[in-house]
Amino acid sequence: MTGSGDSGDWDSARRRDVEGGADLPVRHRDDHAPLARFTRRVLVVCPRCGGRALVVPRPGLPAPRYDAELLFQPRRLTCAGCGAVADWEAAVRGSALVGTEPGGTEDPFFRRPLWLQTRCVGHILWAYDEEHVDALAAYVGARLRERGALSPTRAMFPRLPAWMKTSEHRAGIMAGLRTLRALAERSAPADRSNAAHEHGDRPRPYGSLYFRGGPY
């Protein structure tokens, strides 16, 4: 995310606010990041022990050229607590891979409940990992939000629900994001949030295709 001043100062201020410290910069400039960008690393509830597991691209793959490629890359789920391991690969349609759809309180690949979930102003606030929490905090905490001349249809911030955009809920949402930040540091089954379950909000399949010319 970008903001006025030095980028290191921006990141430092953002982190302090999520952890309950200083205010965020007042201005947020939308860089049109899609939600797919934050699927590089997804914290989920382990299917075996109920603790925190991690979903990442399968080791050895080249870095994606575009954020959208993250929705097609083979994935691996691992749990440091119990040793559970699982693999996921995109469905195939003809010569193309079928991309998964990010959004909602399940991870897009294994459909496990997200680890980072909490009840917030009458809704469920969720994020994929710490980077996602920080990006949401930079947006929610800003008093001035700039969208720029272009707003791609898959950009994350314009697609946030209305309850996350109103200033009326700013304090409550920032408190919820601090809760998610704390949850990211915990991993035991007993640390699981009482909101970290399926909520029936799986997004409608988008059906994007990736015609393979690479390693997948």
pLDDT confidence tier of residue 1, bands split at 50, 70 and 90: very low
CB atoms within 10 A of CB 159: 12
Q: What are the Cα distances from residue 97, in Å, to 66, 106, 123, 171, 197?
A: 15, 21, 34, 42, 29
Helix (H, G, I), strand (E, B) or coil at 96: strand
In the three-class reduction of DSSP (H, G, I as helix; E, B as strand; rest coil), residue 55 is classed as strand
Closest CA relative to residue 33, chosen from 136, 108, 129: 136
Say what the pTM is: 0.85
User: Do the beta carbons of residue 53 and residue 78 sit within 8 Å?
Assistant: yes
Give residue 212's pLDDT: 64
Q: pLDDT per residue over 25-70, tens digit each?
A: 577 888 889 999 999 999 999 999 999 999 999 999 988 989 999 9
Amino acid identity at 11? D
| Mean pLDDT value across the chain | 86
